[in-house]
Structure 1
């Protein structure tokens, strides 16, 4: 009996020691805490939203990311990140600029200066979009339409692209108003226009503007000179009845919340892109941009466009 009890106690003691050993081994095998951040890039503590306005937000975001990715690669402070951000309309843009959510804004000059009337913005760069620094608007008609001047448009209709387009609405419309003529917007092409005013309609895009002129749904159309040359290959049936002055093709503006050191380095990166194979490749992919540079006569440009915007508001 004693022998049996001793054997039983030995088994219990052995089992107990085995559990303790396993427990110690289990503790030793637990991974010790590791600072994983040391193996990663620095956290992005300064995220700047680089915004524009566009109907196709996915496509516009992908396009804008071409530029922001390049900026992120070349900015010296790796805690800074430029992120593409696209809003559907100008009202949303203004609200998010006011709230401080958006920091950089890329757009055509009329829209940028219109927004700058409400939110403090500084223009820091000009973009040579599709290879040009400046462009102008043309108002055109069919040669056999009897519309040979802006005066001839009284009682007729002119087609603009959309409400916020610089070259296909705001610029040509302000030019027409500067000539002492009156424009009344019509919701549809079949709405009658009185004999003393010019009616206007939105076509949706420049291609439609050309098509509507050809089909005589409208008597004249307006768009920039680049679009006119591209969309109308055979100009034998068309004539230009008015031409505006040149304005910058595209601008980058910044809010007053961004540190000047960041702005200066960003300008340096943008302005030097055309000097490297990598930069040239990115510019080409970014809607065939030729370069970024400084708008030297920015004060004068701003004053002229703001004056035109006042005419539009009357």
Structure 2
């Protein structure tokens, strides 16, 4: 009798140990200055994934927030972040630093792709990019795809050189385009509207809203090629089984009402899907943009 109890206890202990061995935490990362606001955005998705990935051994899904691409890449390298979600140029930057791989597209705001635009106020008298030489442009921040990385590349491709200004009102002379950071799209648009900047950069959706509100006040100077709206990247070394389970969970969300309800609360997304042309083909020109900026001393 004692032998049977001992055997039963050993079997139960082995089952418990196996369960704990399978139990894992999945960490999702994004860039932001604070975690509270991001938790309100991500919590429904985190809860959904915890339930849906339970059979895959995931018992907890957590959000990790860092303020810069460099800090996020370091966290990924330490395996503190498994999945990173952000705009495409930022994901590419983090992928270069961490060895991660972009693998899914997020239809953020119901859009598969978006554009970066450079615009000016009609009163500036500027009608072409070349006329920004020696002028000021308002850019969002260095980890913004549409508000910094893409427009900076557009300016470089147009033969213009950039110089960072210490402040919006700092003295500026010479041939370079002086840029200052606004850290917010609304601040960028206000800087152009108020004349503090001769031009600014944002995404086409913000620009269309601006044109709807003030249709005769602004002029479009340049528009980029289309880029994926939002991208998911996985860290190197993530198990294929876990990654496949996550991919299946995310790409199937839009096929049922519960998933669609969660997507609606998460960045008003309409779903996750694969890159139509494949990840490598989609990101080849994006990595080239980052290389061009690095060669120009802009990181």
- Is 1:103 equivalent to 2:106 in the alignment? no
Kindly state the Cα deviation for residue 78 of structure 1 after the two structures are TM-superposed: 5.9
Alignment of 1:1-314 (within 5 A): 45-77=23-55, 79-80=57-58, 81-232=60-211, 233-297=213-277, 298-313=279-294, 314=296
For structure 1, the 5+ residue unaligned runs are: 1-34
Displacement over 6 Å in runs of 4+? none
The secondary structure found in structure 1 opposite 2:248 is helix
Alpha-carbon separation, structure 2, partners of 1:312 and 1:118: 15
Kindly state the Cα deviation for residue 109 of structure 1 after the two structures are TM-superposed: 0.9
Structure index of larger Rg: 1
Alpha-carbon separation, structure 2, partners of 1:101 and 1:54: 16
Alpha-carbon separation, structure 2, partners of 1:301 and 1:194: 39
Alpha-carbon separation, structure 2, partners of 1:228 and 1:148: 17
TM-score (norm. length: structure 2): 0.88
- 8 Å CA contact retained: 2:56, 2:242: no
1:202-259 deviations in whole A, cap 9, x for unaligned?
A: 1121111111111101100100001112344222111101111111111111012221
RMSD, aligned CA: 2.0
- 8 Å CA contact retained: 2:28, 2:61: yes
**How many residue pairs are counted as aligned between the two chains?**
277
For structure 2, the 5+ residue unaligned runs are: 1-11
Indicate the larger mover: 89-98 or 198-207.
89-98
Check 1:76–1:45 CA distance in 2 against 1; reply closer, same or farther (3 A cut): closer
1:93-142 deviations in whole A, cap 9, x for unaligned?
A: 12211111111111111111112112221112100001101001111111
